Structure 1
Amino acid sequence: METLEGTILVGESFEPVAGRVVVADGEITAVEETATDSTDLILPAFVNAHTHVGDSVAKDAAVGLSLEEAVVPPDSLKHRRLRDTPREEQVAAIRRTCRQMTRTGTATFADFREFGRTGAEILNEAAATEAVSAFVFGSDDPAVLDVADGFGASGATDEDFRERRAAVRERGRPFAIHAGEPDASDIHPALDLEPDLLVHMVHAEREHLQRVSEQSVPIVACPRANLALGVGTPSLRELVDATTVALGTDNVMVNDPSMFREMAYTARRFDVTDREVLRMATHNGAAAIGSDAGVIESGRPAQLLVLDGDSDNLAGTDSPVSAVVRRAGGLDVKRVVG
């Protein structure tokens, strides 16, 4: 059993409470309000709900390139570099990204992994030695589910995914798909597949969001990557009003995997509250992959982030939630639990 003391951001509302969190066997067993001398700030660890960590072999190589030139299969810079990079170099590069995610407060990341079974096995090998947990959306063939947690489709107009969608459903695994990134043309076809998760939805219109709401499909937004690749700006307020929205940092090639940076950009750029942004980075990301983590409550998984509330950066803040979303960074992280 372990006890963490400080200011705790409790529940889905992240109400700041002075007290302690009791953890045993990977589970929160109690959240107790009590006086404490600790200046630590305790909150749910982040869930980075959409990444492409294989791109760690090509950091910043896509600067100045279009979406198609940078990442669209099969002949983009990304796919050429992945084909040409030896397995051991890919594993080493992914491990570095995993360590960076831990240093910036992330406990779990959900990755769309290219190159089928081989790609998923490379990611599993890399993540096995690291503190952060990988939720792998495999590609190519549903047989990848032998080594992956779900299936990730590139886009509904890239290929015919109907048979693969049916096979994934038979296996009882989640089916996720990119949609509405370069334009809106693939959104209705993606929704026709009845996905469990949509990624991007930059160009979603009212008719699309009505279907999203009716089908209760969560969305992962990746605002910084959308900016970097020049595909536009999502209507984040409308997405949040329609469904559960999580945050992801997307391609390591164009973005570092810091959820602190993703939150700060999102809070400043869009018509959303700081609490909504923190929920996107924690509870909503966990929910998008079927996890009960992301909330500090008794009985929940103990995936927690401890920040130094007395750091030069965070000391004196009037709002712990805003401090986490807009100000905090990797230097403020004391530890990630779970």
Structure 2
Amino acid sequence: MERTGTILRGREFDPVEGRIVIDEDGRIEAIEEASVDSDDLILPAFVNAHTHIGDSIAKEAGGGLSLEELVAPPDGLKHRLLRAASRDELVSAMNRSLRFMQRAGTAACLDFREGGVAGVRMLEDAAAGLEIDAVSFARESADAMRAGDGFGASGANDATFDREREATREAGKPFGIHAGEVDESDISPALNLDPDFLVHMVHPEPVHLERIAESEIPVVVCPRSNLVTDVGLSPYEALDERTTLALGTDNVMLNSPSMFREMEFLAKLSALPADVILRMATVNGAEIADLEYGLLEPGRAARLLVLDGDSDNMAGARDPVRAVVRRAGVDDVREVVFGDR
């Protein structure tokens, strides 16, 4: 199998005109420079590094409510709606969100999964038959973590999570935790757990930034969600100077799980360069979950996004990386290739 066009190759996304060759095992065999008759733009498929797709049953519910009123366990609006829904309703709604993400160029989402072991099984059922990887960071118990792909903690002000952290080490699975979303009070105890990644980090103090730089713990930022819930915006440039950043769309209740929208939003409210943001949306999230894709280079699993570079929206773009990050959208997607399936 091969695809032709302008290929955003490697970690720097160097634009190369030519063809990308995929072997029978679904891996990238070669990227060959050549003159080709194609306006397509080929880039790695996205990795959405933080989602809560269980609340797909509650899209745009709770307008005007605070973050605590919306999502705080156990009685936030989201949790009341989850308890009221049937299993079939929850699975169907999650399936719809996964289908949208797949069509919009997302190869994997890292989902903080409510509902214990049963919640993990629901996500598995929602993803059945799809090509997107729904990576389950289970919550509520170590048993749920063992059933899923890792543990996703709500925040260090909710519990200590020491036992869950130790359980993830024993199981060889990653541990992520929300931190610094509303204020700085839960950041130090979250860092004390030595997590594999942090989510949000809207309110770090200088001491927290120093600790992040020393530990190099990756941070997943969710700018649209933070704006909608009115908690503020992360210090993106300061975090980028100190560690690896990845990008997530957070609650489907609040935002469409579109990485195109998330990238554009971040690009236009921050000073981060386009190539940094594209890495945040691809390889950086992939590395958090130890996935074998996220870059276009020989040996990687071939999960590709093919955009129509001659669409009315994209035609004439002078800088392909900047165009992907700031301009492209779902309507420009020609094909999503899951070569490893």
TM range (shorter): over 0.9
Alignment of 1:34-183 (within 5 A): 34-183=34-183
In 1, Cα distance between the equivalents of 2:256 and 2:310? 26
In 2, Cα distance between the equivalents of 1:62 and 1:18? 48
* 1:34-83 Cα deviation digits (max 9, x unpaired): 11001110000000000000010000003211010000101000000001
- Read off the aligned partner of 1:135 and give its amino acid letter: V
State whether residues 263 and 281 of structure 1, in contact with CA within 8 Å, keep that contact through their aligned partners in structure 2: yes
The equivalent of 2:326 in structure 1 is 326
In 2, Cα distance between the equivalents of 1:17 and 1:133? 28
SS in 2 for 1:209: helix
Shift of 1:322: 1.0
Q: TM-score, normalization: structure 1?
A: 0.98
- Read off the aligned partner of 2:325 and give its amino acid letter: V
Aligned pairs, number: 337
In 1, Cα distance between the equivalents of 2:224 and 2:271? 16
State whether residues 63 and 254 of structure 1, in contact with CA within 8 Å, keep that contact through their aligned partners in structure 2: no
2:280 corresponds to 1:280: yes
In 1, Cα distance between the equivalents of 2:148 and 2:294? 22
* 1:224-269 Cα deviation digits (max 9, x unpaired): 0000011111100011111000000000000000000000000000
SS in 1 for 2:30: strand
Fraction of identical pairs, as percent: 55
The equivalent of 1:299 in structure 2 is 299
State whether residues 224 and 255 of structure 2, in contact with CA within 8 Å, keep that contact through their aligned partners in structure 1: yes
State whether residues 313 and 327 of structure 2, in contact with CA within 8 Å, keep that contact through their aligned partners in structure 1: yes
Change (3 A) 1:163 1:146: closer
State whether residues 5 and 38 of structure 1, in contact with CA within 8 Å, keep that contact through their aligned partners in structure 2: yes
Shift of 1:160: 1.9
* 1:137-172 Cα deviation digits (max 9, x unpaired): 001111113320000100011012111111111111
SS in 2 for 1:49: strand
In 2, Cα distance between the equivalents of 1:178 and 1:43? 30
- Read off the aligned partner of 1:137 and give its amino acid letter: F
Shift of 1:129: 2.1
SS in 2 for 1:301: coil
State whether residues 180 and 200 of structure 1, in contact with CA within 8 Å, keep that contact through their aligned partners in structure 2: yes
State whether residues 176 and 199 of structure 2, in contact with CA within 8 Å, keep that contact through their aligned partners in structure 1: yes
The equivalent of 2:7 in structure 1 is 8
SS in 2 for 1:39: coil
In 2, Cα distance between the equivalents of 1:26 and 1:74? 43
The equivalent of 1:232 in structure 2 is 232
The equivalent of 2:198 in structure 1 is 198
Shift of 1:121: 0.8
Shift of 1:271: 1.4
The equivalent of 1:247 in structure 2 is 247
In 1, Cα distance between the equivalents of 2:67 and 2:145? 28
In 2, Cα distance between the equivalents of 1:20 and 1:67? 47
In 2, Cα distance between the equivalents of 1:136 and 1:335? 26
Detail structure 1 runs of 4+ shifted over 4 Å in the superposition: none
SS in 2 for 1:156: coil
Q: Which runs of 5+ in 2 are unaligned?
A: none
The equivalent of 1:31 in structure 2 is 31
The equivalent of 1:219 in structure 2 is 219
Shift of 1:89: 0.5
The equivalent of 1:208 in structure 2 is 208
- Read off the aligned partner of 1:112 and give its amino acid letter: F
The equivalent of 1:264 in structure 2 is 264
State whether residues 95 and 127 of structure 2, in contact with CA within 8 Å, keep that contact through their aligned partners in structure 1: yes
Shift of 1:292: 3.2
In 2, Cα distance between the equivalents of 1:284 and 1:165? 22
Q: Which runs of 5+ in 1 are unaligned?
A: none
In 2, Cα distance between the equivalents of 1:62 and 1:35? 53
State whether residues 45 and 294 of structure 2, in contact with CA within 8 Å, keep that contact through their aligned partners in structure 1: yes
State whether residues 56 and 252 of structure 1, in contact with CA within 8 Å, keep that contact through their aligned partners in structure 2: yes
In 2, Cα distance between the equivalents of 1:173 and 1:64? 37
Shift of 1:294: 1.0
Query: Which has the larger displacement, 288-297 or 81-90?
Result: 288-297
State whether residues 146 and 171 of structure 2, in contact with CA within 8 Å, keep that contact through their aligned partners in structure 1: no
